[in-house]
Every structure is written in C-alpha cells, then in structure tokens.
A and B are shown apart, each in its own frame.
Chain A
Amino acid sequence: MKITLMEAAKVIRSKNAGPFTLTFDILFKDENYYNTFKEKQLLTKEIMAEAYKCDVDVIEEIIYFDPSKAMKINIHRPIASGDVGERDVYGAQQHVPLTKLEFEI
C-alpha cells in the first residue's frame, strides 16, 4: 500500500534549532505508522536529500523519539536565519516537501 507522509502523520513541522539548523518534527498518527517507519527505516537521509535538493552530508542523524511517536531530522541551513537572501527567518514554513513524500508500507 502506498501512503504519503501527510496521511501517516498528524504533525509535520519545521523550525529553527538555533540560527544555523532547521529541524523537522514528524509526529505520527498512531503507533503502527510510527513503528513501521522506525523498524523499516523508511525515511532515509537520501530521500530527505532528494526532497530538499541538498547534499546528503548536510542532513544530520535521523532520530526516533518513542514518547511522542515522532521522528526528527535536522538540516544545516543553506542560509543562516536572517542572512541576506533569507526567505524564512523562523524556518517555520519549510515542511511541505516532506508532506508529499510517498512510501510503500
């Protein structure tokens, strides 16, 4: 069965973690979705790099957090918060490419 991340998650958000890092939180709708994504490691650094058209090495470790049925991904910001050429000082609107990702579960 194919499913988009938007269908599996109830929260998909991005935010600054300091001025140089964007952090993405995905809170899954239920334990099943969370466990499937965690056990099969469905969302990889490579998929993330493809979605955001960036180098794999600027994506940090993907972390699973059981208490929130959540996963977290960090990207070193291409432009630091507030630098000339910035589009999103708080980094709060960079989540959308994640929502469109499709996974076979």
Chain B
Amino acid sequence: MSRELRILAPTAILGYGFPEESFLKAIEKKPHVISVDAGSTDPGPYYLGVGKSFTDRQAVKRDLELMIQYGLELKIPVIVGTSGGSGAKSHLKWTEDIILEIAKEKGFTFKMAVIPADIEKSYLKEALAKDKIIDMYDSIPLSNEEIDASTNVVAQMGIEPIVKGIEGGADVIITGRAYDPTVFAALPIKEGYNPGLAFHLGKILECACIASEPGSGSDCMMGYLHDDDFEIEPLSDERKCTTLSVSAHTLYEKTDPYRLPGPGGLLDLTHTKFEQVTDRRVRVSGSVFHPSEQYTVKLEGAKSVGYRTVSIAGTRDEIMIRQIDDIIEAVKARTKDNFRNKEMNYKINFIIYGKNGVMGNWEVIKEPAHELGIIIDVVGDTSETANTICSFVRSSMLHYGYNGRISTAGNLAFPFSPSDFSCGEVYNFNMYHLLKIDDPTALFPVKMVTVGGEQ
C-alpha cells in the first residue's frame, strides 16, 4: 500500500479562525504537519509598505495557540508562511513576538526557525545592473530610484529554506514572504513525494475550506498525500469537497489554471484528473512539476505616494444629482484656484456611489440612483496638505451654488462628525518583478531560536 502524509490546513489565513471542533477532529487523524498561509497581496499595497498586518493580533494569537499546543503534543512541525500578512521584517517580528508571548503564558519550550524574506536594496541594484531582474509588467519599470523609494521589498521564497528549518529540527517555522503553497509542500517534497502533487495539494490547501461546498475561509481542511495521488476532505460534516469545488479552486486567483509558475518551476495541470471518492472526498492525480533551468523568485515592493484624507457624505437632491459631474468639476476648479499661489501637491478623487462608484468607466447603467454616496478622497504630499484640500473641497461642495438650487442651507448630508478622516500614508506596489537566483536558500537565512525553557 502506498504511504500517506497528512497535512492539516486549519484556516485560509492565519487569524481568520477555525471551529475548535473541526480542528480537534483533524488532530485525531494524526496529521504530520500543521501549515497555514498568513499572507496575501490582495488587501493592497498599504500593509507591505507600512509594515503592519491586515489581520488582528488577538485573532492571530488565538489560532497560533491551538496550532502550537497540538503541534507540540503530536511532535509535528507547525509552519506559518508569509507571517504578518506581507512577510517583511516587521511582520515577521510581530508574529515572533506573539509566539514568544504564547510560549511564556503556556510554559511551552520548543525550537523555532525564523526565516526572513527581505531583500537588501544594494543587492537589488546589483541584480538590476546585471540583468537579473525580469519585468512582468511594462507599467512598472524598475530603477535604482524606485528601489530606493520602496519601504519594504520581499521575495517569495520556495520550499528550500523551509526544508532547511525542518531538517534543523524546528518545531515551529515562521517565514517572511513565501510562495503560498510552500508551507504545505516543503515537508512532503523533503520526504520524497512527487513535487507536482505536493505543490498542487498546497495550492488547494492554502485557502483551507474555500475549496469545499459550502466554501469557508475559516474552517479546517485535510490533505492526504500519496505517491500517485492526493485526496482532500473538509473536517466539518457540514462541508464537502466535490470535483467541481476542488477543480474550480484551481482557477482561483490565478491567470492560467493549467500552468502555475512558482519559485523554481512550473506546476502543470494539463493532465490532472479529479475524481469523487466519497461524497465528501476528492482524489486528484496527474499534476506535474517542471523545474525551470533558471530559478526565479517574485519580488514585491511598495513605496509611499503621499497622505490621505477622506470625507464621506451623501445627497438626496435630484436637482443636484442631475448635475453632479459638473458640480465636481466646478469644485475641483475652485480648489485649484484658491491655492494657486501655494506649493501644494495633491490629487482629488471623487468616488460617487450610486453613479459608477464601483465600476467607474466600466459601468453599464448610466442613470444615477435617487441618492448618491459621495466620497472625497484627497492624497497630498503631506498630511497637512491632504487635510487642507479635503476640508476645502468638502466645504466648497457643501455650499456650492449650482444651477436651480433650492436647498440653500447646504448640499451634503454627513453621517459623521468629524466629517473628515485623516488616514495616514498611502502606498502603491512599485515592484512586482522576477529575480534570477542561483541558490534558493541564500537570500532566506534560517535563524534557529530556542523558545521558553531555562533562559
């Protein structure tokens, strides 16, 4: 009989939570590893740029407490990928601190591997000069100036640094930015399992029960990896995996369901088969990993582009609604004129909910709604500029005398006082490139730490 390696994915993102009942059911099945992906670029560039997590500390601590307690009990590794949401040094430190706190409170003693994924700017400039950085999008050209402007730059590590952590005897492994499936695929590939199946299973497990019906980002999924196939099943009786739910997940958030590039190679699903084994369990076979001649890792960087202040209001006046575009233009012009002698750099962006607020130019319905939500979004080069401009735009709009106005007391309904919100810095992704490397572990040094015990 073929051997089996069981991988537990408790939740789609560390901090999204999971029912303890599902988790304990999984523990009874004696998994060989508990892995969780903790990050994504989906919440936008802010979190990478500023170095904060998009998940909440208490929620992350709650998930980690259970994972570490049972990981230690079963003597199996607990692996966390892309710590703190974006996987830069401050995110990794944040996660490490939470784990140290848990160990202290619970009296746990264990070995932990900490694997950062930050890339030095001097290294990047050298790599750029030596043509080792490949553009993925013409729209973001890379230069030394852009490298200098970024606040955090990380690269998505492959399985190799994580394998080093496992080989070093770590009970807990936390990584900086890692390719999502690596935390699930590292142990099986080290044990000699087929990397195509291991990566494909990892790709599905990274979102835990999103690949089941009904889908959930906060429930446990178990993967059963064999030499020639893998099977996947949710722990909660309320959910099931179907060939459709599992295969459809292969499409999710990827540009091509047949060819999924990652660090060191390409996952090829051209000949993948999905079979229903029981009404809740699906078997997958035929996925192949093609190692690439040149190992590459994806770089992610973000830079600050200013400071944001936002004001939220609404209008219910049909005379105003009919003229909303003209009013916006007039208010923008009034603002520009008012500060024309001041050196202020800013952008004013109106988002009008009820009139193309979500779709913008792609909107198919041209008629505005009977009421409009108005968001005045100002990004300035300083926080003061953003506040000044937002305040001026808001007051100008409140009292703007448009054609045919009957509501001479004011044009806007504000739901809040204060009406304006200073939101702090704004970032954008200024690096999303591939970096050619020779040694898949060199950029990701594995630091072993003894946690708890006599210190």
Contact = CB atoms under 8 A, between A and B. Distances in A.
Contact of B252 (A21, A25, A61, A88): A25
A84 B305 contact: yes
Contacts of B248: 11, 25, 27, 68, 70
Identify which of A19, A74, A76 gathers the most chain B CB atoms within 10 Å of its CB.
Answer: A19
A72 B139 contact: no
A23 B255 contact: yes
Classify chain B's interface size.
35 or more
Nearest to A17: B255
A83 B377 CA distance: 12
Contacts of A18: 41, 432
B190 to A, nearest CB: 28
B244 interface: yes
B201 to A, nearest CB: 16
Nearest to A76: B137
Main secondary structure on chain A at its contact with chain B? loop
B268 to A, nearest CB: 14
Contacts of B429: 19-20, 80-83
A81 B41 contact: yes
Contacts of A33: none
B199 interface: no
Contacts of B349: 84-85
Interface string A13-33: 001111111010101000000
B403 interface: no
A67 B139 CA distance: 34
Nearest to B46: A82
Interface string A60-95: 110101011110101010101111111111100110
A65 B46 contact: no
Interface of B: 41-46, 136-137, 139-140, 243-244, 247-248, 250-258, 272, 274, 305-306, 347, 349, 351, 357-362, 364, 377, 379, 426-429, 432
